[in-house]
Amino acid sequence: MLVTKQKVLRRFWYATMPVSHLDAGPQAFTLLGEKLVVWKDGEGRLGAMRDRCCHRTAQLSRGFYDRGNLACGYHGWVYDRTGRCVSIPQQPETAIPSGARVEAFYCEERYGYAWVALEDPLLPVPDVPEGFDANFRRIEQFYEKWHCGALRMMENSFDNAHFSFVHKATFGQFNQPVPSKYELWPTDWGFDSETIVPVNNPPAAVRITGDPSPVTTRHLRNKWFMPFSRVFHATYPTGIQHIIFNCATPIDDHSIQLVQLLFRNDGETDCPTQALIDWDRAIIDEDRAILEATDADAAVDTRRRVEFHMASDKPGLLMRRKLMELFEQHGEAEVHA
């Protein structure tokens, strides 16, 4: 699947960058191959527009804030959040042409990130209740570019079969390669899932799990949000909840910007933030190494290109089926390189 060719994918929300990055000025971002400028106006409202001034096509991300609006760094033309030009410094007494504007996109803040949809969104920003629950702390773990496909990352997130191999140095049980089975419940926005997975619990993980045993379990209640967001909700026998939210934002057909937030129902004295970052960092590096070694063009419509799947890969198959239904509903077919 080439994400830039599936027009319906433009109708979903994607996390682009931390809102704090916008304090220093407008920032460039590429989403589904579209070059954007993301910025914040004088009232703190977020904006996203095509990263080209309508005058001489200079990148607006190289501009600056001017009295709550966005000014081009080339000739100082000024734009509001709707993309309308509101000032041309060289001719202050002349009416601004009605066609002097830049295409603007949907943009709003959630979980400390600027989320963008390129066209009228089909679904809201994924809901993570713990993001608004005072009983959970939020830790911003990772924000980085990966050279892999967004669907590959999503499939991997629900793939119990890779634990024994990719994660054998952290929590995976190499001598137990048969994966735990998932229960799945399709939803309007993706699916809910549940499984219980035994995992190794080395000394470095004891404060993460709260369990001193060398082997513990993760009770997983994971969610997939179309097209490329997921919630990993692990509860350990100790009652500690370790909840990871990812958005695999597609930059283009072969790369993603991965956002990872962590929510925990414990405190800093129970498990320091740095320990949580270090532990999940080791795991995510294992995933990144193998995913960047895969073909980013994952098949969705298996009638078009054969990919072999294990019987245990129920989440991946359901994910592909729902995406295929989405494409067909909107009059599209899967596109490959």
| Residues 245/233, Cβ–Cβ less than 8 Å | no
Q: Which pLDDT value is given to residue 307?
A: 60
pLDDT band at 98 (very low <50, low <70, confident <90, very high): confident
pLDDT band at 304 (very low <50, low <70, confident <90, very high): low
Q: Which pLDDT value is given to residue 196?
A: 95
Asked if the model's pLDDT at residue 59 lies above 60, the reply is yes
| Residue 243: Cβ-neighbour burial (10 angstroms; 0-12, 13-18, 19+) | buried
- Give the three-state DSSP class for 49: strand
Please, what are the domains in the chain?
Answer: 3-117 (2.102.10.10), 129-329 (3.90.380.10)
Give me the mean pLDDT over the 34-62 stretch. 95
Lowest mean pLDDT among 58-62, 105-109, 263-267, 318-322: 318-322
Give me the mean pLDDT over the 13-41 stretch. 96
Q: Tell whether pTM > 0.75.
A: yes
Give me the mean pLDDT over the 33-38 stretch. 97
Asked if the model's pLDDT at residue 161 lies above 60, the reply is yes
Contacts of 86 (CB under 8 A, 6+ apart): 69, 78, 79, 80, 96
Model pLDDT for residues 169-181, shown as the tens digit of each residue: 999 889 988 888 8
pLDDT band at 302 (very low <50, low <70, confident <90, very high): low
Lowest mean pLDDT among 33-37, 221-225, 292-296: 292-296
Model pLDDT for residues 179-214, shown as the tens digit of each residue: 888 899 999 999 999 999 999 999 999 999 999 999
Lowest mean pLDDT among 6-15, 67-76, 114-123: 67-76
Model pLDDT for residues 73-94, shown as the tens digit of each residue: 889 999 999 999 998 888 887 8
pLDDT band at 306 (very low <50, low <70, confident <90, very high): low
Asked if the model's pLDDT at residue 309 lies above 90, the reply is no
- Cβ of 208: how many Cβ atoms within 10 Å? 23
Which among 149, 158, 160 is positioned nearest to 316, based on CA atoms?
A: 158
Percent of the chain exceeding pLDDT 90 equals 76
Give all strands (DSSP E) within 68-205, no chain letters. 69-71, 78-79, 85-87, 104-110, 113-117, 137-146, 183-186, 190-200
Give CB contacts under 8 A, 24+ apart, made by 203-208. Answer: 204/278, 204/279, 205/170, 205/171, 205/279, 207/270, 207/271, 207/272, 207/275, 208/240, 208/242, 208/271, 208/275, 208/276, 208/279
- Give the three-state DSSP class for 190: strand
Asked if the model's pLDDT at residue 298 lies above 60, the reply is yes
Within 13 Å and on the Cβ side, how many CA atoms surround 328? Answer: 8
Model pLDDT for residues 232-256, shown as the tens digit of each residue: 999 999 999 999 999 999 999 999 9
